[in-house]
Amino acid sequence: MPQFRYEVKKGPGAVAKGVIEAENQRSAIARLRDMGYFPIRVEEAEEEQKKDTLREALARVRLKDRNLFFRQLANLCESGMMITRALRTLVEQTENPKLAKIIDQLRDDVQKGSSLAEAMDKHPVVFPAMYCSLVRAGETGGMLEEVLWRICAFGEQEEELRGKALSAMVYPAFLTTVGSIAIFILVSFVFPKFIKVFEEFHAQLPLPTVIVMAICKFMGAWWWAVLAGLILLGTLLVRWARTEDGQRRVHGFLLKVPVVKSVILKYEMAKFARTLGTLMDNGVPILTSIKITAETMTNVHIRDEVSQMHIGVTEGDSLSETMRRGKFFPPMVMSMFAVGEESGRVGTVAKRVADAYDLEVDRAVKALTSLFEPLLIVIMGVIVGFLVIAMLLPMLNLSSTVGS
């Protein structure tokens, strides 16, 4: 949306300057007048517009930004502010330019007669179906403020859960990257200088040194080709992993790795239970809740299993019965949902299951980290140790020959 630089007065005070977003100059003047100002000069800020367009293109709406938006909106609505005015206030104080533009579009749609849920439906990347369904239920039941607070709680718990899962990969990834770079530098630039010294003596070299020398010679001449090949291979693998077939194969492989499988299952069970429980507690029909919950699952095989639950419930089966036909739902989850169905408190029970698995995710992540850290250190140590020893052996042989 274009930006306009303005100079305005309000009463006998000094002239105020600033920038405002509007569809055109007339809309900018109208907005300033609605805010109680008398416009003196309103001109389009072309340079600012170019910079903001670039910033908006580079920006992305993170989970943290979305959670902050819902928390601020809940606070403003709870204070009695009209939804359109609350959204206008959030446009002005939101730091993320992309999210600010989306909020402004929400305000325009609501002002033209759409509900907040209908306006959010137009931005599925930022506001998934779950959020739209919860807001729609809140607007229908006249409890939008309460629903917004529940969305805040759900989003913050999701952010915390995702943080725990990602923390398992940070340190191992750091060790792998640093170790790989160190080995690459040694083999490509440091050790090739020793090869010239060994070749001058024409001495018989140990087998480890011969192997390392062959690698060093190749890397010394073709390190750029190896680096380009690794980048190309990594890019192709990432693209393949994003295809449907690649995603299924990668996710299936991860579910076969013992320790990793445990973390994935606990993470998905926590997300499944919390999403389903939150939707059902807010009056969303069970079939719609299951369908939306399936879309939130990260692993495609678990997503397929949750989607099958939708078919089973449609045919008249209970949730716990459809879970028993799958292979990923643990006995505790099935038993808890069976109790919830008997007592008519599925939503409450699902949230308790989610809380329990939040703790399990934390423990599983710590176990995974404690396993991978020493394993990576040992692997990197063995590789670097082999390279160093291979270079030192000829030196020891040469020094003993010279000494004798």
Written as six digits, the tokens of 120 are 């959010």
Q: Is the pLDDT of residue 60 over 80?
A: no
- Which is higher by pLDDT, 195 or 145? 145
Q: Which of 213-227, 245-259, 387-401 shows the lowest per-residue confidence on average (mean pLDDT)?
A: 387-401
Report the top-level CATH class of 161-404.
Answer: mainly alpha
pLDDT score of 77 more than 80 = yes
**Which CA distances in Å does 164 have to 265, 362, 368?**
14, 6, 11
* Domain spans in the chain, listed from the N-terminal domain onward: 3-56, 61-158, 161-404
Determine the Cα–Cα distance for residues 175 and 186; give it in Å rounded to an integer. Answer: 16
Long-range contacts of the stretch 79-84 (C-beta < 8 A, 24+):
83/110, 83/116, 83/144, 84/110, 84/111
Q: Which fold has domain 61-158?
A: Receptor-associated Protein (1.20.81)
Inter-CA distances, 196 with 190, 192, 233, 363, 376, Å: 12, 7, 32, 52, 32
pTM tops 0.75:
no
Q: Is the pLDDT of residue 58 over 50?
A: no
pLDDT at 236: 93
Q: Of the given ranges (55-59, 81-85, 308-312, 327-331), which has the lowest mean pLDDT?
A: 55-59
- Among residues 396, 28, 46, 337, which one has the least CA distance to residue 209? 396
Contact criterion met (CB below 8 Å) for 393 and 208: yes
Proportion of the chain above pLDDT 70, given as a percent: 91
Q: How far apart are CA 354 and CA 161, in angstroms?
A: 10
pLDDT digits (tens, 9 = 90+) for 235-269: 999 899 888 888 899 999 988 888 788 888 888 88
Residue that the structure tokens 């029970």 belong to: 349
Q: Residue 354 above 90 pLDDT?
A: no
Domains 61-158 and 161-404 share a fold: yes
Per-residue pLDDT averaged across 340-363, rounded? 84
Average pLDDT over residues 165-174: 74
